[in-house]
Structure 1
Amino acid sequence: MAADIIRLDSGLGGDDDDFDPIVEADAPELPDNRYHDRELSWLAFNQRVLELAEDPAVPLLERANFLAIFASNLDEFFMVRVAGLKRRISTGIAVPTNIGRSPTGVLRDISAAAHELQLRHARAWNDSVRPALSEAGVSIVGWDSLSEQDQEHLGEYFSENIFPVLMPLAVDPAHPFPYISGLSLNLAVRVRNSRTGRQDFARLKVPQMLPRFIAVDAAAFPEPIRYIALEDLIATHLDALFPGMEVLEHHVFRVTRNEDVEIEEDESENLIQALEKELLRRRFGPPIRLEITEDMDDVTLSLLVRELDITEHEVYRLPSPLDLGGLFSLGGIDRPELKYPKHVPTTALQFQPSEPNGKANLFAAISARDVLVHHPYESFNTSVQAFLEQAAADPHVLAIKQTLYRTSGDSPIIEALIDAAEAGKQVLALVEIKARFDEEANISWARKLEKAGVHVVYGLVGLKTHCKLALVIREEQGTLRSYSHIGTGNYNPKTSRIYEDFGLFTADPHVGRDLTRLFNELSGYAIEKKFKRLLVAPRQLRKGLLKLIETERLNAEQGRPSGIRIKLNSIVDEAIIDALYRASNAGVPIDIWVRGICGLKAGVPGLSENIRVRSILGRYLEHSRLFSFVADGDPQVFIGSADMMHRNLDRRVEALVRLTDPAHLTEVAELFDLAMDEGTSSWHLTATEGWQRRSTGPDGEPLADLQDIVMARVAKRRRPRSRR
């Protein structure tokens, strides 16, 4: 079946006058320097991740994991954000900056802040986490510390498992400087011909398919567990790779390249083909960062700088080892006492079977009342996955419509859609193939779905489809009924175990009609302007939120109850921030709970003195987006997929759904109360000192962990057993 390639330049981009916000004509001017720099704010977020790695109260292997997360985050930051800035500067595209700061000045500031963080990151590993792990019986060792027997054993391992796959590449008049793939570890080797005295350079790539850390021995706990870094083992055996040559110097280096995909969407070109061509170009993006070990000599460094054509600001001289993202592999060590206590998600109360060992009828549960699930405290498998699997197997289900932004390998969600199509149901999958770094996987899934008979849509020109929606149409007693799911996170069973998200299941016919119309707009040529319980971007969402914020401002001025609470990943949109500033100045109490980037300044007199900003990081990644407005005692509470960023509000299809069940409103309110409580461990954004961590009380006692509390609360929910 050929893919349904949608080419719309209007529709979702149209206007809706009903959502024009009320604008105060004589609103006071706001100061020019009222925003935090986006990139520096992101680096501050990654610093918070690093602070968890530095925290001795965090289990040791989890601290190593946070070091790996920091490294992985920073790689993506350079590949996308820094690369994008450089591209815009080089092509003359305007770069948003604070007043008085040039784009090149922003890049220098980023370089300085990132370099300082990477040095701190290296110290956290070498001076804190690595020694502590060694004391606990998990050691990363060097070659010289090994016994002769250990060295002999590893020498045999090298000869049999590593040497055959290594490919040393010489650099001389007959061999040009080789292409250095992004994020690969490499050895820069200088050798001398013992007969002629000639010195030459060679590059040796550390194979990425081999384990980063090699077990020295097979001893099991309680005996010490020892590992040696792969690049160290290779470096020790360079003589075997350059026989007859004298190895003078060897140093590890790593290159980060521009991997920010820019697709020129041509009306006449197949979108999937355009993306595949761009993905090929991504591999050869220009270098934007060179990481080198601090012992690299000037001759080798000069060669790399010249051949890679980079500036001194893009060179990061760091203690070894480079690429601490490799520490992810330590998570497989079977030492539960060095990890967070294992948590098994519970099944949402309404989805718990009424009888022991029974199976819940999810359609009956959703028909009875809306169901709000909170992952990973409540199981994704027994809610979202079970919902789609039951829909695929149910003979009364006629159609399933689904958006897919990111999913996992061998995904049961994909299999459920395939099963439904093969059973003769109408199945529509809107696969967003432009989801960054998941493009190839999504193209593969889209083609697999097509082969099974699923109607596949690849998205809209100029827009990413980021909303998380599923719609099931079921025949019940001769009439059709809609069952809907609107979530804050991806349909990904793997990430659902570590990403905190909400999802609403509802049989409300208003929501069903809303989703039916929205899917028609996404897959066809319908242009919808009216939704009952949804706010949809790019047409309605910005205006709808601005109207809700403005209503709170007016209520505060008139002495009515007011208040705003927002939880999200990032907030940088100037119009939203300015509206919050004006609401604050009118006396509206505002709580912002943000995980990552925050362009808003908190607690500034005359600007944001009624705004509190908190950030919470922990074992789970806070990912849900919640929007709560007091609305003069008639709470307006929404959940959905959108952050307050230009891309989400203007260049993506996003959807928020309004919660109406009083129990759900209470659950969201209690979550905000806990997050903003002075007794909860969190980071506070201050007016003068930036982000400050508050993890202990006045007497040094540890503050409460929000995620632990929520975990305990949700675990206590149990369906009463039926009485016979």
Structure 2
Amino acid sequence: MSDEAIIAERAFEEEERNTGSPTSDGCDEQMTSVVEEVEERPELFANREISWVDFNDRVLQLAEDDRVPLLERVKFLAIYSGNLDEFFMVRVAGLHDQVDAGIDARGPDGLSAADALEAVTERSRDLTVRQAHQFEQKVRPALAEAGIEIISCAECSDADLEQLDRHFREQILPVLTPLAVGPGRPFPYISSLSLSLGVWMRDPDSGGEVFSRVKVPKEVLPRFVAIGDGKFIPLESAMARHIDALFPGMEILHHDVFRVVRDADFTVSDDADDLLRAVENELRRRRFGEVVRLEVGASINSDLRRRLVDWLGLEEEQVFDVEGLLDLSDLWQIYGLEGHSDLRDPPWSPVTPRAFAADGDQKADLFASIREHDLLVHHPYDSFSGSVERLVEQAVDDPDVLAIKLTVYRTSDDSSLVPSLIEAAERGKQAVCLVELTARFDERRNIEWARALEEAGAHVVHGLPGLKTHAKALVIVRRERQGVRRYVHVGTGNYDAKTSRIYEDVGLFTADPEITSDVAELFNSLTGYGRERQYQQVV
């Protein structure tokens, strides 16, 4: 039993001894006492940011677990890196803002922003060392044994190098743009999450030394260059081999890779008249956020490292020295290689819930199934396309359906839900969609969906200023013999076909009058003005 539970139980036992049974007033007084006692014990509370680092640690543990199939471990290494980037872009950036503003407010855990920043930085640094070790010493050798070699140019055969040299001349060199720093040439803007090659060189004629940055163009070229027979060379390694081709006549003194992560957090004013335009403006400013983390190769020259830190205006605590490859989120490319089924989890094909399954050539009537009884689905085991998407498709085709209302927080390009809503609007049905424009890192996609819906004639609400609508709800209004009936789906997962095949979530289909009335009222409060009401079933 937790300390909090022990305190609460002791308080109620004392009340019962004094009065025979706890009265409502006594309960209030005792609970106030319990709260006050707990608040005086910060060790009972977990800091939000440190707790998140603990979560990412658990992701890394999956990559370290040799019971997990090898390519699945590669996947978890990639997930860990992507998670860490987003954490620094938002959470750590927010801590920096608080420290810079001199805010010393402490939460129930007793930590200031400076305390939390120091803790998560050091913990993240330790985890990144573990991640690098896991990939370089465990996963990469195991991949090589399985026929997937990620190698440097020094490990290539003459035939491999000949193929790589030809590929570099034809495919890589035309894309590269070196940017020198010198008189009239300030240090270039480095976009967030971009990988760069930093080069320090000398002019043999003048003796002057200069720095140049070359972006590793992994946004337009594969990060790992395939040279046949299951061999892959990191793009930056191929560039480093041919660095003389970029700087003819110069003497190359040092070169190494580096990467920056910038503040990507933004705030939209509660007074914004046009939420969509306000979010678009903030997205434009996002790319110019302050640098919150610099990653450098562990072998980088100390002078080059110092100059990068100075040019970017960073503190030493913001620099991460990484052994081996930077940005392991690009390992998704390796995970996505065809074949190697023995290195993956056994495939799983989601099943259509029995109540929604077709009977021979006859499609199931999902409305009849929901009227008969509620249905709870469990993704990814129950099919998203055979349940949620199938219900919306039937609603679009049904002439008795009057309205379809949907909340969109995150969705995928291969999901049929938003296109189905567009089709419903074009068929003259009332189509309503709340598109949460501030869904972190999905803002641009949601803006595109919002515009497409509006152009089709759907009613679109762009979220509420000051609030983030994270609810996942669908309401279908249908005309039936007994009158108008509502059908509802609510769930824990986004209306995203892609993640529904990966993440574990539950969803409820129901025509229960109290629940459907509550969800309809929720939509009314989100799309219009109104005070909160007491819901009957929905929390």
Same fold (TM over 0.5): yes
1:676 corresponds in structure 2 to none
Are the aligned partners of 2:352 and 2:386 in contact in 1 as well (CA < 8 Å)? yes
2:235 corresponds in structure 1 to 230
- Note closer, same or farther for the CA distance 1:382–1:71 as it changes in structure 2 (3 Å cut): same
What whole-Å deviation, never above 9, does each CA across 1:223-260 have from its counterpart, x for those lacking one? xx110101111111111110111111110000011101
What whole-Å deviation, never above 9, does each CA across 1:569-623 have from its counterpart, x for those lacking one? xxxxxxxxxxxxxxxxxxxxxxxxxxxxxxxxxxxxxxxxxxxxxxxxxxxxxxx
1:40 corresponds in structure 2 to 50
Letter of the structure 1 residue corresponding to residue 466 of structure 2: G
Counting only pairs closer than 5 Å after superposition, residues 430-579 of structure 1 correspond to structure 2 as 430-477=434-481, 479-535=483-539
Structure 2 length as normaliser, TM-score?
A: 0.92
Q: Does 1:198 align with 2:198?
A: no
- Note closer, same or farther for the CA distance 1:92–1:263 as it changes in structure 2 (3 Å cut): farther
SS in 1 for 2:43: coil
- Name the CA distance, whole Å, in 1 between partners of 2:112 and 2:435: 39
Q: Does 1:76 align with 2:91?
A: no
1:162 corresponds in structure 2 to 172
- Note closer, same or farther for the CA distance 1:330–1:95 as it changes in structure 2 (3 Å cut): farther
Letter of the structure 2 residue corresponding to residue 345 of structure 1: P
Q: CA deviation at 1:22?
A: 6.0
- Name the CA distance, whole Å, in 2 between partners of 1:75 and 1:21: 49
- Note closer, same or farther for the CA distance 1:270–1:21 as it changes in structure 2 (3 Å cut): farther
1:385 corresponds in structure 2 to 389
- Name the CA distance, whole Å, in 2 between partners of 1:105 and 1:476: 61
Counting only pairs closer than 5 Å after superposition, residues 81-100 of structure 1 correspond to structure 2 as 81-97=91-107
1:253 corresponds in structure 2 to 258
2:224 corresponds in structure 1 to 213
Q: CA deviation at 1:32?
A: 3.2
Letter of the structure 2 residue corresponding to residue 343 of structure 1: W
Are the aligned partners of 2:402 and 2:477 in contact in 1 as well (CA < 8 Å)? yes
- Name the CA distance, whole Å, in 2 between partners of 1:359 and 1:96: 58
Gaps of at least 5 residues in structure 2 are 1-24
1:107 corresponds in structure 2 to 117
Q: Does 1:335 align with 2:340?
A: yes
Q: CA deviation at 1:98?
A: 5.9
What whole-Å deviation, never above 9, does each CA across 1:177-232 have from its counterpart, x for those lacking one? 00011111001001111222211100000012210111111x4xxxxx11010111
Are the aligned partners of 2:269 and 2:465 in contact in 1 as well (CA < 8 Å)? no
Q: Does 1:133 align with 2:137?
A: no
- Name the CA distance, whole Å, in 2 between partners of 1:506 and 1:280: 42
- Note closer, same or farther for the CA distance 1:22–1:446 as it changes in structure 2 (3 Å cut): farther
SS in 1 for 2:504: strand
1:407 corresponds in structure 2 to 411
Q: CA deviation at 1:94?
A: 4.8
- Structure 1 stretch 355-364 or stretch 122-131: which is displaced more? 355-364
2:275 corresponds in structure 1 to 271
- Name the CA distance, whole Å, in 1 between partners of 2:473 and 2:321: 46
Q: CA deviation at 1:511?
A: 1.6
Are the aligned partners of 1:265 and 1:274 in contact in 2 as well (CA < 8 Å)? no
Q: Does 1:304 align with 2:308?
A: yes
What whole-Å deviation, never above 9, does each CA across 1:416-435 have from its counterpart, x for those lacking one? 10111111101110111011
Are the aligned partners of 1:85 and 1:95 in contact in 2 as well (CA < 8 Å)? no
1:187 corresponds in structure 2 to 197
* Residue in structure 1 matching 2:267, options 262, 266, 270: 262
- Name the CA distance, whole Å, in 2 between partners of 1:98 and 1:512: 38
1:613 corresponds in structure 2 to none
2:7 corresponds in structure 1 to none
Letter of the structure 1 residue corresponding to residue 246 of structure 2: L
Are the aligned partners of 2:463 and 2:526 in contact in 1 as well (CA < 8 Å)? yes
- Name the CA distance, whole Å, in 2 between partners of 1:419 and 1:467: 23
Q: Output the aligned Cα RMSD.
A: 1.6
1:25 corresponds in structure 2 to 30
Identical amino acids, percent of aligned pairs? 49
Are the aligned partners of 1:97 and 1:103 in contact in 2 as well (CA < 8 Å)? no
Are the aligned partners of 1:468 and 1:487 in contact in 2 as well (CA < 8 Å)? yes
Q: CA deviation at 1:95?
A: 4.4
What whole-Å deviation, never above 9, does each CA across 1:655-692 have from its counterpart, x for those lacking one? xxxxxxxxxxxxxxxxxxxxxxxxxxxxxxxxxxxxxx
Paired positions, count: 508
- Name the CA distance, whole Å, in 2 between partners of 1:133 and 1:21: 64
Q: CA deviation at 1:453?
A: 0.6
Are the aligned partners of 1:190 and 1:200 in contact in 2 as well (CA < 8 Å)? yes
- Note closer, same or farther for the CA distance 1:460–1:314 as it changes in structure 2 (3 Å cut): same
1:242 corresponds in structure 2 to 247
Q: RCO greater where, 1 or 2, for CA within 8 Å and sep 6 or more?
A: 1
- Name the CA distance, whole Å, in 2 between partners of 1:179 and 1:96: 35
Q: CA deviation at 1:312?
A: 0.5
- Note closer, same or farther for the CA distance 1:434–1:159 as it changes in structure 2 (3 Å cut): same
- Name the CA distance, whole Å, in 2 between partners of 1:503 and 1:330: 33
- Name the CA distance, whole Å, in 2 between partners of 1:427 and 1:21: 51
Letter of the structure 1 residue corresponding to residue 293 of structure 2: R
- Name the CA distance, whole Å, in 1 between partners of 2:207 and 2:161: 31
Gaps of at least 5 residues in structure 1 are 1-19, 220-224, 536-724
User: Counting helix residues as a fraction of each chain, which structure ranks higher?
Assistant: 2
- Name the CA distance, whole Å, in 1 between partners of 2:515 and 2:173: 61
- Name the CA distance, whole Å, in 2 between partners of 1:216 and 1:22: 72
- Note closer, same or farther for the CA distance 1:22–1:203 as it changes in structure 2 (3 Å cut): farther
- Name the CA distance, whole Å, in 2 between partners of 1:147 and 1:302: 36
1:64 corresponds in structure 2 to 74
Q: CA deviation at 1:89?
A: 2.1
Are the aligned partners of 1:517 and 1:528 in contact in 2 as well (CA < 8 Å)? no
- Name the CA distance, whole Å, in 2 between partners of 1:518 and 1:39: 31
Q: CA deviation at 1:390?
A: 0.8
Q: Does 1:428 align with 2:432?
A: yes
2:60 corresponds in structure 1 to 50
- Note closer, same or farther for the CA distance 1:467–1:104 as it changes in structure 2 (3 Å cut): same
SS in 1 for 2:486: strand
Structure 1 length as normaliser, TM-score?
A: 0.69
Letter of the structure 2 residue corresponding to residue 240 of structure 1: A
Q: CA deviation at 1:102?
A: 3.9
Q: CA deviation at 1:99?
A: 5.9
Letter of the structure 2 residue corresponding to residue 212 of structure 1: R
SS in 2 for 1:317: strand
1:649 corresponds in structure 2 to none
Q: CA deviation at 1:524?
A: 1.2
1:681 corresponds in structure 2 to none
Q: CA deviation at 1:150?
A: 1.4
Q: CA deviation at 1:101?
A: 4.1
Q: CA deviation at 1:478?
A: 5.4
SS in 1 for 2:28: coil
